[in-house]
Amino acid sequence: MKKVFTFIGLVSIAAFSNAQIVINEVYTGGGVLGISLLTHDFIELKNIGSSTTTLTGATIQYGPATGGFTQYHTLPSITLSPGQTYLIQEGTEGGGVINLINPNLVVGAVVNFDGSPTVGLGLSIGLTSGKVALASNSTQVTGPTASNVLDFVGYGLVNQHEGSGAAPSPTILNSITRTSGDTNNNAADFTVTLPSPSSSVLAVNDFNSTPKQAHFIKNSFVKNNEITFGADVKDVKVYNSTGALIKTASVNSGATLNVAELQKGNYIVTGTVNNQPVSQKILKD
């Protein structure tokens, strides 16, 4: 890229750096039979900047732990305001118990860079090691500093990564999630967490004109051993971090569910609101 040091150029650079869509979360254990909680791998993008930004012609590219990038799929034009997320449903091993809620994009066939035919739908992302890039076009990414790279995450025992080290390895039960901003150091920018897929699809319900996932449970932190619900929810199911179903119920708006018997830790609560599936992560500490 030519460096044109003009006032206008500096303003443009500053605006771009404050409106940054990055890879926010990667889950690789989708659909592993008999073990996985979620049915699909996913990649979540997020605008961590301070201005609304748009991606046009961008791709998600994947490569294994060693060697180059092998597959990609295109993204539609994306516009995200600060803090908004974009959820991409990728491949599956065919198992799991919880579908992703309101993915912004369900990936169909992917493209192999070597021209060979693909099998299955979506990227089949390496479980413990691999690399994922958000690229500005469909040109094969060669590394984290390639000119078309918008963001790059190498995880596990991988040959390429941003910064001094790779992000930690995800597991069947856990994703890798960005800790806060983007320091261009995968080891520092990502940590292992319970999967928390989130989309900015504005699927509204009758108790608030905001995304239903944001208000299905009023507070994601359990208070006084009770979960407080913001809507009438049918078929409530509470799963622990290993995917085991440990509690069921149906509740009314404003009602609470006592979970005193649960140990401290992360849980996933699912249910049905206005005939639409909902899902949310909670923490009991």
Is domain 7-193 classified as CATH 3.10.20.30? no
| pLDDT for res 15 | 34
| pLDDT for res 1 | 37
| pLDDT for res 231 | 83
| pLDDT for res 107 | 93
| pLDDT for res 213 | 44
| pLDDT for res 266 | 78
Residues lower than pLDDT 50 in the chain = 1-18, 201-214
Share of the chain above pLDDT 90, in %: 51
| pLDDT for res 10 | 36
| pLDDT for res 35 | 77
| pLDDT for res 185 | 97
> What is 212-284's CATH number, 2.60.40.3080, 3.30.70.980, 1.20.120.1770, 1.10.10.60?
2.60.40.3080
| pLDDT for res 242 | 62
For the chain, domain boundaries? 7-193, 212-284
User: What one-character-per-residue DSSP string does 235-281 give?
Assistant: EEEEE-TTS-EEEEEEE-TT-EEE-TTSPSEEEEEEEEETTEEEEEE
